Amino acid sequence: MGEFELLARIRERLPAAGPRVRVGSGDDCAVTVPGGATATSVDAVVDGVHFRRDLASLGQIGHKALATALSDLAAMGAEAGEAYVVLGIPPDIDEDGCIELLDGMVALAGATAASLAGGDVTRAAELFLAITVVGHAPGPDSFVSRSGARPGDALVVTGELGAAAAGLLLLERPDLTEELDDAAAERLRASQLEPSPRLGAGRILAERGATAMIDLSDGLGGDARHLAEAGGVGLRIDAAALPLADGVAAVAAAAGHDRYELTIGGGEDYELLAALPAEELRGAVEALAEAEAVRLTQVGEVVGGKGVEIRLPDGRLLESAGFDQLA
Amino acid sequence: MGEFELLARIRERLPAAGPRVRVGSGDDCAVTVPGGATATSVDAVVDGVHFRRDLASLGQIGHKALATALSDLAAMGAEAGEAYVVLGIPPDIDEDGCIELLDGMVALAGATAASLAGGDVTRAAELFLAITVVGHAPGPDSFVSRSGARPGDALVVTGELGAAAAGLLLLERPDLTEELDDAAAERLRASQLEPSPRLGAGRILAERGATAMIDLSDGLGGDARHLAEAGGVGLRIDAAALPLADGVAAVAAAAGHDRYELTIGGGEDYELLAALPAEELRGAVEALAEAEAVRLTQVGEVVGGKGVEIRLPDGRLLESAGFDQLA
């Protein structure tokens, strides 16, 4: 397989680039005309560290790598723009395997209106993907950072939580599916393998005045701590309010975990956690339901002080320092 | 070594970001206000494929990875803007090693006015770096693509050629240095290990109306072929006109290679090859000498037809199809 031949084959599969892309893959650089401001994020995933090739197909690995990168754009309230993809390809993945990886990305790029505008392919001992994504907004103040949360803001999450952590347990221990119907198990596994970045929801929350936002990649506990530290505020979360996905409780019970601890400590839900002025809450809930069919749930509030406190239904209090120990 | 602690230590070492960067490393995304048009390129390098850790220090590996990425911006005539760096770190590189890698990049970023605006660090089985660079220009037409060469244009190269290939030979076979004085040998090795992207020269050539431009990464033969194919033109090159670096002839002779074949087939000089309207040649030569102290040499011309012909001083004619076989 020659590098140039593979790149040509990859280029054939790319959908038409978006309106900001003037020169796509094939020159020294891609050329874009951004207009306004850009948000840029890079994310790398490595075999054995971020994914297991025995649990995920190459298409799913490609999908998830791009999804997690786009999720950082969602957390800024950005419109998805361009993605640049580096593939490190080990000897046991052939040209068809590269195309399968790419197809997972092409499908998601199509669904999110992102353009795959450039990339690089290299030999490597182990599979890795490094993805740079560029998002757009009319101006820099249109983006939502992690740092603007104010005491009194409502703390909200999109979608449902715990599915990715429960899905990972199901993938690693197929015996746990005995507690679940097939459709619920399949949804949980799909949450782990093929997450959906919440781009539309992120833009709506930005338009509704979200003061701070982050995507749930490390887990609600750790990501809430990032939001609290960046804003110099405290966060109080009521675990009973967390919108647990169907099946999470059953998987947690079968695996011997507390359902809330699994959800709070388990990462990769790629939902958004945002601080929102309390008076915007109702409007945001309705807007997300209408435009995105996505649930928005208040799970707590921003307070003075610092750190994160999560009250469990049994009365126990989890504090920031303990989140890393959760399973 | 925790990821967050290392990232914090890395952030401390970053110089102040450039004027386009509104939010740097530490949020979900970096935020920039580009203005005009952007050129973006991604490049990955992997241990054992693109570099050897027994021949290059970690600082040199970091320098070269960023230099080769910035060289793609130079080839567009872009102003260097932001760089986003992914590091895949194997178990035998500790936190100090990561900082050494970074310091090689920080020094070059300072010298080229590029901002290290974001990144990601991950564990990996082998060292890899994936670098995304963003360059700027007032508008998309200010960039020079590979495809605009016109018959009658002069074909020019910046700087001197063959040094990186000769330097690699010296690194792999230290016995070859017997033919050279120490300073010349050191310059050749430095060309291989720490190339300088020709950003200033690229901008001047763009301002002077360069119709097509590419950086010499694969080797003059292969890169000339890219330029010819992209433009649908032919290129005629006179090898006797090639500005061979001091010592290249001696190293080639000691290693049993033809000096011209070594230069044409050997890559990584990271000089620029450009097509320039003939009437701009004298002015461009003077401007590069004055502003950048960089030599500009006409090595041939753009002609009708297609493919690349290189006439050697001994009368032999090298044609495109044979470049890949050169050593």
Q: Which helix (H) or strand (E) holds B212?
A: strand B212-215
Query: How close B148 gets to chain A, by Cα (Å)?
Result: 12
Who's near A276: CB < 8 A, 6+ residues apart?
A153, A154, A155, A156, A205, A208, A209, A210, A211, A284
Residue B271 φ/ψ, nearest 5 degrees: -85, 170
Query: How close A250 gets to chain B, by Cα (Å)?
Result: 33
Shortest CB distance from B22 goes to which of A75, A140, A214?
A140
Shortest CB distance from B84 goes to which of A122, A132, A215?
A132
A31 with B44: Cβ contact below 8 A: no
A118 with B42: Cβ contact below 8 A: yes
pLDDT of residue B178: 82
Question: Which positions of chain A have pLDDT values less than 50?
Answer: 1
pLDDT of residue A10: 82
Residue A158 to residues A100, A108, A208, B193, Cα–Cα distance (Å) = 30, 20, 14, 49
Indicate the SS3 state at residue B76: coil
Predicted complex ipTM:
0.92
pLDDT of residue B3: 66
Cβ distance A101 to A9 under 8 Å?
no
Residue B75's closest chain A neighbor by CA? A28
Q: What does the DSSP assignment read for A225-264?
A: HHHHHHHT-EEEEEGGGS-BPTTHHHHHHHHT--HHHHHH
Query: How close B244 gets to chain A, by Cα (Å)?
Result: 24
Who's near B195: CB < 8 A, 6+ residues apart?
B64, B67, B68, B71, B164, B268, B269, B270
Residue B43 to residues A29, A127, A246, B241, B268, Cα–Cα distance (Å) = 10, 16, 42, 31, 14
pLDDT digits (tens, 9 = 90+) for B221-234: 999 999 999 999 99
**CA-closest candidate to residue B30, choices B114, B102, B124:** B114
Cβ distance A54 to B54 under 8 Å?
no
First-to-last alpha carbon distance for chain A, in angstroms, is: 43
| AA letter at B75 | A
| AA letter at B261 | E
Indicate the SS3 state at residue B244: strand
Rounded to 5°, angle at Cα B293 from B289 and B299: 60
pLDDT of residue A179: 72
Cβ distance A159 to A41 under 8 Å?
no
Q: Which helix (H) or strand (E) holds A285?
A: helix A281-292
Residue B73's closest chain A neighbor by CA? A29
B230 with A27: Cβ contact below 8 A: yes
pLDDT of residue B2: 63
B88 with A44: Cβ contact below 8 A: yes
B88 with A40: Cβ contact below 8 A: no
Query: How close A327 gets to chain B, by Cα (Å)?
Result: 18
CATH for the B154-325 domain, from 3.30.70.1450, 3.40.47.10, 3.40.309.10, 3.90.650.10? 3.90.650.10
With beta carbons under 8 A apart, name residues in chain A contacting B118: 40-42
What CA–CA distance (Å, rounded) separates B158 from B150?
A: 19
Query: How close A244 gets to chain B, by Cα (Å)?
Result: 25
Per-residue pLDDT of chain B (327 residues; tens, 9 = 90+): 466 677 778 888 887 788 888 887 777 899 999 989 999 999 999 999 999 999 999 999 999 999 999 999 999 999 999 999 999 999 999 999 999 999 999 999 999 999 999 999 999 999 999 999 999 999 999 999 999 999 999 999 999 999 999 999 999 998 898 878 999 999 999 999 999 999 999 999 999 999 999 999 999 999 999 999 999 999 999 999 999 999 999 999 999 999 999 999 988 999 999 999 999 999 999 999 999 999 999 999 999 999 999 999 999 998 876 777 665
Beta-carbon contacts below 8 Å between A and B: 197
Who's near B220: CB < 8 A, 6+ residues apart?
B157, B161, B237, B242, B263, B264, B269, B273
The CATH number given to B3-142 is: 3.30.1330.10
With beta carbons under 8 A apart, name residues in chain B contacting A215: 28
B31 with A38: Cβ contact below 8 A: yes
A33 with B29: Cβ contact below 8 A: no
A42 with B86: Cβ contact below 8 A: yes
Who's near B169: CB < 8 A, 6+ residues apart?
B176, B251, B255, B262
Residue B102 φ/ψ, nearest 5 degrees: -65, -40
pLDDT of residue A327: 53
B214 with A84: Cβ contact below 8 A: no
Cβ distance B146 to B286 under 8 Å?
no
Residue B116 φ/ψ, nearest 5 degrees: -85, 100
Which two three-digit tokens encode residue A276?
């929102």
pLDDT of residue A73: 97
Question: What are the structural domain ranges in chain A?
Answer: 3-142, 154-325
Which two three-digit tokens encode residue A242?
């967390």
With beta carbons under 8 A apart, name residues in chain A contacting B120: 42-44, 130
What CA–CA distance (Å, rounded) separates B134 from A215?
A: 25
